[in-house]
Amino acid sequence: MGKYSVLVIDFETTGLSPDNGDRAIEIGAVLIQNNHISDRFQSLINPKMRVSSFIADYTGITNQMLKKAPPADEVMHRFVDFMADHHLVAHNASFDKRFLDSELKRIRASRKQEFACSMLISRRIYPDAPSHSLQSIIQYREIQTNGQFHRALADAEMTALLWINMINDLKATYGLSSVPFELLQKISRMSKSLVPKYLKRVVEERAG
C-alpha cells in the first residue's frame, strides 16, 4: 500500500442506525493514488427489507431496483478485496464507519485500517464555509460536479475531489510539499484554533 493511497467510501442505507436494524443499500468507493482518482467500486445491495418512501425519494433507489440487486454477503466479499489495506476516508466518517463495520461483521470480516473524516477536516481548514455538508462544501470550493448527490458512487467521487482539493489548498497555503493521510487525520482531531500553528511548525520541522 502506498503512503498516499486513500480509499473514499460512501454508503446509502435504509436509515441512520445499524444498531436499529438499518442496512446498506448501496456502496460506492473511489481510490486515490498519487493525488488522482485511479479506480472505482459501486454496487447496489439487496437489504432483504423494504426501504421507506423517504429513502426512495432521498436516494432515487427504489424497492424494485433493490429486488434485482445482489445480496450483502456477495457485495461485501467483493468489497473486502477492493478495500485491501488502503486508508479509508468518508464525509462524516462516523456514519459510514458504523455501516461498514456492521456489514463486515455479518460476513465475519473486519477492518484493520483507520478512517479519516473529510467533514471534520473541512471544518478546520474552511472555517468560514457556511455549511460543511458535502454538497455545500463542494459548492463553496467551486468543485465541478455532474449534479448528482445522494448516490454512493457520486458522493464518494465528490468526497474524493474534496479530499484532493483540501490537500492542494494546504500545499498552497503552507508550502507543504506533501500532505499524507496521517497529517490530515491528526488535524481532524485537533482543536480548530491550533491547526494553523501546527501546520506552520510541520513546515519548519521538515525544513530541518
Partner DNA sequence: TGCCAGGCCCTCTTTAGGGCCTT
The footprint of DNA (CB under 7 A) covers 10-13, 15-17, 19-20, 54-55, 58-59, 91-92, 94-95, 98, 119-120, 123-124, 131-136, 150, 155, 188, 191-192
Nearer to DNA, 70 or 130 (CB): 130
Compute the least distance from the CB of residue 2 to DNA, in Å.
27
Q: How far apart are CA 132 and CA 126, in angstroms?
A: 9
Tell me the closest approach of the beta carbon of residue 43 to DNA, in angstroms.
14
Given the complex with DNA, which of 40 and 204 has the nearer CB atom?
40
Q: Are residues 162 and 122 in contact, defined by beta-carbon separation less than 8 angstroms?
A: yes
Shortest CB 199 distance to DNA, Å: 16
Going 47 to 84 to 132 to 164, the CA torsion angle's sign is negative
SS3 184: helix
CB atoms within 10 A of CB 47: 20
CB 38 within 8 A of CB 69: no
Task: List beta partners, residue 43.
Answer: 27
Least distance to DNA, CB of residue 89, Å: 13
Closest CB 208 distance from DNA, rounded Å:
31
Contacts 24+ apart (CB under 8 A), 111-114: 111/83, 112/85, 113/83, 113/85, 113/86, 113/87, 113/88, 114/87, 114/88, 114/185
- Closer by beta carbon to DNA, 16 or else 84: 16
Nearer to DNA, 59 or 87 (CB): 59
Q: Beta strands 6-13 and 24-33: pairing type? A: antiparallel
CB of 22 to DNA, least distance (A): 8
d(CA 33, CA 35): 5
* Nearer CB in complex with DNA: 103/155: 155
Residue placing its CB nearer to DNA in the complex, 3 or 67: 67
